Amino acid sequence: MGEIARAVNAAEPLDGILTTVAEQACALIGFEFCAVMLAEPDPDRLRVAGSWGLSRDYVDLVSDAGSLLIHPAGPHLDSPAAEAYRAGRTVAVPDVGSAERFGWLRQVAPMQGYRALLAAPLHAPDAGTLGVIVAYSVAAREFGAPELELIELLADQAALAIETARLRSAQQSVITELSRANDELQRSRAVTDWAEQQHRRLMRLVLDEVGLAGLVTALAETLGGSVTVEDRQGKVLARAPESGYRPPPDDAARRRRPVRTALDMLARRNEVVEVSADLRGRPGASAVGHPVGVPHGVWVAPVVVGGELAARLWLTDPRVAPEPVERRVIERFALVVALEVLKLQYLVEVEERLSGDLIGDLLRPGGPLNPRGILDRAAALGHDLSGPRVVAVLALDPPGPAPALTGILHAATRQAGRPLVGPHEDVQVMLFPDSTDLDETLRGVLAQVEQGLVERTATIALGPAAAGLADYGPAFRVARGAVRLRRAAHAGGVVDVRNLGLAALLLEQGTPDALHRFARTLLRPVVAHDTRRGGDLVPTLRVWLAEGCSASATARTLVVHPNTVAYRLAAVEKLIGRSLRRSDTRLDLQLALIVRDVVRLDGR
């Protein structure tokens, strides 16, 4: 009994304890075999839970699903173990061969080689009968009172061991659950502390006015991923980190259903959304739909200003997939990013209003009323108008307000010496520092405007340089005349009218329809001749005027014979009905060609 108690107290496995009970039964009472059987997990049959001396084949036999039934169909299937369990008393079988009630026993006993057995129930005070202990003897024998008392005492010890093991298991389960709950509590507390730290860090960033770039860098460090903030048009406002940055899904991926669905959700749900994007076919993408090295996918949060989506905050390749607490941190950052975006919008609006007022005073007819004040106001906005500036004018077709235009222009001209940009009348005015690469700069500006305003045609005219404040008004009117003339033809593009000389007066004072009609009427027969016969009259006329009306210089430039030039010029005279020897004819043709270049008449 002490040995059994020590095994129980040592928390040994239950089958080992029951094997010890079976071994003690054999040693104390003089049996060769012993088994402890329990009515679990199947309450309709007994199973061997621990044994001593029994062969594996015998244990497998009595463990069969049809064996040791507690309530068999008839006496031929009954067993002493089942009867002891049902009756709750010890059953003795002195000789298996003469036991008429247990037909099943006579069949299996020869396999193990026993003739007599005792079966005692395992009684538990609070759980009822748990099973039985069965001791086997190879010889037939009668069982006296001491043997019955010992088997029943061992049965009680086995029941006590089972109950103790169960209590210990239940206690261990409680301890395990408490430990798990404590671990979860500790983890929850750690997560809460982490979230609080991020909140305090965010507040410090706001108070330190680190700006949008600082916020994005901090969030990228916090989540161990790449963070991108872009406006509604998809223009990147800030991104991080500098090293190892991974961009959000590209335009092709956003047109596919999974990404498009996630982006549509941003308009309805003010929360972080996981983008289950099919990015196959994208450079650096894996077959499972995420970029290589992005095991946790892509996440996007809305940046809402005034109840409307103003920007998007992308998280790419996070260190771990964001849990709810990390998503709340992202949402808090998105809220602060919204404040930064609102601040930027406000600054842009204020700068646009101040710039528009300044440009309006600068371009007024007759020149500015307060030149010193104009220079001071420009300096306050970060612009020096004391030096030469080139006046450029942008117009949209069809005309009308375009709220996004100012932001596009500021972004597109940021690398071009930071020009003064503002609205005036029905166009946008840009005052650039004089440089040699303005044509290329303005083509880049035009491309970004057309990309951001796909429903409009944009035209930019590059006007004369203004050396002083009094020159801005005339330079603007020349550029405005050129852009209106070109817009009337719905041509779009960039036109350079910086060096027109006398023709600039026509652009400054003339109306688009009158200039257009003048050039088309004068050049129509020449252009029609070139179109019909594949001639070179217009190019020859253009070179001849540029070469000072010299036939020989024109021939050298065009690499043709002087007689060919003379023949072509005679054809021009015949078509227009006017002599090229007259200076007024040459002036009219020069002006008509300038107008044609501005509006791109193309034979009309």
Region 122-129 average pLDDT: 83
Q: What is the pLDDT of residues 176-192, one digit of tens each?
A: 888 888 887 787 787 67
Domains and CATH numbers, the chain: 2-170 (3.30.450.40), 211-348 (3.30.450.40), 368-509 (3.30.70.270), 513-599 (1.10.10.2840)
How large a percentage of the chain has pLDDT more than 70?
86
What are 146's two structure tokens?
Answer: 């001491």
Q: What is the pLDDT of residues 378-430, one digit of tens each?
A: 887 778 887 788 888 888 888 777 777 777 777 777 666 678 888 888 888 88
The C-alpha atoms of residue 301 and residue 422 are separated, in whole angstroms, by 33
Q: Which residues contact 264 (CB under 8 A, 6 or more apart)?
A: none
Identify the band that residue 98 occupies on the pLDDT scale cut at 50, 70 and 90: confident
The residue among 505, 509, 525 whose CA lies nearest residue 575 is 525
Q: Which residues contact 159 (CB under 8 A, 6 or more apart)?
A: 122, 123, 124, 130
Q: What is the pLDDT of residues 337-387, one digit of tens each?
A: 878 777 776 776 777 788 888 888 888 877 788 888 888 888 877 788 877
Q: What is the pLDDT of residues 512-556, one digit of tens each?
A: 555 666 667 677 888 888 888 777 888 888 888 888 888 888 888
DSSP string, 6-54: HHHHTT--HHHHHHHHHHHHHHHHT-SEEEEEE--S-TTB-EEEEEES-
Q: How many C-beta neighbours within 10 Å does residue 219 have?
A: 26
Region 117-127 average pLDDT: 87
The three-point CA angle 544-548-551 to 5° equals 50
Q: Write out the H or E segment, with its range, that includes residue 57.
A: helix 56-62
Q: Distances from the Cα of 571 to the Cαs of 63, 242, 530, 536, in angstroms?
A: 119, 66, 11, 11
What are 119's two structure tokens?
Answer: 């079966």
